């Protein structure tokens, strides 16, 4: 009987935790009797046959590396059936009959279409700094990203207090304000603007002017990119509050960095669960982390569903928006 094989890939935006998840998935697959492979360059590599056995020399040193050593890509060709067929033939010639994809909801939808075409089972590991995948409280990369943001804001506040200025700090997150809310709360920001909470600049202005009258000389405003208000907020602070303000867009620094202890541990949990799910015969499961427990949900329960922000986080952040 031919040996069962599994190919592991990263897809979509890079996130700290992808490398340890890929390494652990390969190691655990081998312990469960599967022959592990790595797919390089994401969906493009699946089409272009960038598929190699996950030997020890390929997994050594992955645990502490940020980003993804397997690399990733946005691949429009995968939308075309002829290229998906080419990808399937690349798997067939190696006897690969299972896939693990480490990425976001777009990557999961792509592999779900691949399953519908060729019935190759897959397990998804949520990995995106935006933390915007429905059905899971946590995605790989979020903790590392939050620590990078926290360190940046702490450093900026040192300067702000030294020269009596205000700083607007824009975080990533697409249409999800999780990074901005969590960072604003844990860095002591005075203002926060996110898509999930209606903001009131008049109320914010009144609150801040009272504090300025009481002696405040500086402030920090954390703004999620999803509200598209960073430039305006910087001008508004200058004009309405009378404090000289500067904008800092953190950008892609948020996606890099060596994964934190928490992200490494979550990589272990997700990767083991993904391989075990495939060995158990599941076809299209996405790993989840809910209320402290790792589980899984069918792709239909996750794809295209809007993530729900924790009500406590929203309640804690609301005073910073008004």
**Active site amino acids:** 130
Distance CA 23, CA 10 (A): 11
Query: For the stretch 20-56, what's the b/e string if a residue is b when 16 or more beta carbons lie within 10 angstroms of its beta carbon?
Result: bbbbbbbbbbbeeebbbbbbbbbbbbbbbbbbeebee
**Nearest in space to 139 (alpha carbons), one of 322, 305, 262, 312:** 262
Report CA Rg, the chain. 22
Q: DSSP of 113-140, one letter per residue?
A: HHHHHH---EEEEEB-TT---TT-S--B
Distance CA 271, CA 306 (A): 24
Structure tokens at 235: 């001008």
C-beta atoms surrounding 291 within 10 Å: 6
Cα three-residue angle 63-68-70, rounded to 5 degrees = 100
Structure tokens at 269: 């949990």
C-beta atoms surrounding 8 within 10 Å: 27
Q: Would you say 131 and 141 are in contact if contact means Cβ atoms under 8 Å apart?
A: no
SS (H, E, C) 142-169: HHHHHHHHHHHHHHHHHHHHHHCCEEEE
Token pair 């990369």 in the structure block, residue? 141
Strand order in the sheet with 293-298: 51-53, 35-39, 5-10, 96-103, 122-126, 284-290, 293-298
């Amino acid at each position: 009987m031919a040996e069962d094989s599994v190919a592991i890939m990263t897809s979509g935006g890079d996130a700290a935790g992808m490398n340890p998840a890929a390494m652990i998935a390969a190691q655990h697959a081998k312990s469960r009797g599967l022959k592990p492979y790595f797919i390089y360059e994401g969906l493009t590599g699946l089409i272009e046959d960038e598929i190699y056995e996950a030997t020890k020399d390929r997994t050594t040193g992955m645990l502490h590396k940020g980003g993804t050593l397997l690399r990733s890509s946005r691949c429009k060709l995968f939308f075309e059936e002829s290229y998906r067929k080419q990808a399937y033939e690349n798997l067939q010639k190696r006897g690969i009959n299972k896939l693990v994809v480490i990425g976001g909801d777009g990557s999961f939808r792509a592999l779900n279409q691949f399953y519908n075409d060729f019935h190759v089972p897959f397990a998804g590991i949520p990995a995106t700094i935006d933390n915007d995948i429905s059905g899971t409280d946590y995605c790989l990369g979020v903790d590392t990203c939050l620590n990078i943001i926290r360190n940046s804001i702490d450093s900026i506040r040192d300067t702000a207090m030294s020269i009596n200025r205000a700083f607007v700090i824009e975080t990533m997150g697409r249409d999800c304000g999780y990074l901005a809310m969590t960072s604003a709360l844990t860095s002591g920001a005075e203002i926060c603007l996110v898509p999930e909470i209606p903001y009131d600049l008049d109320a914010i202005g009144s609150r801040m002017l009272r504090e300025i009258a009481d002696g405040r000389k500086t402030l920090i405003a954390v703004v999620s990119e999803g509200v598209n208000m960073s430039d305006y907020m910087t001008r508004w602070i200058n004009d309405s509050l009378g404090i000289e303000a500067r904008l800092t867009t953190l950008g892609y620094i948020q996606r890099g960095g060596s994964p934190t202890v928490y992200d490494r541990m979550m990589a272990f949990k997700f990767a083991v669960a993904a391989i075990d799910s495939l060995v158990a015969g599941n076809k299209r499961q996405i790993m989840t982390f809910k209320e402290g427990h790792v589980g899984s949900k069918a792709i239909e329960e996750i794809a295209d569903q809007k993530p729900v922000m924790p009500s406590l986080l929203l309640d804690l952040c609301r005073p910073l928006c008004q």
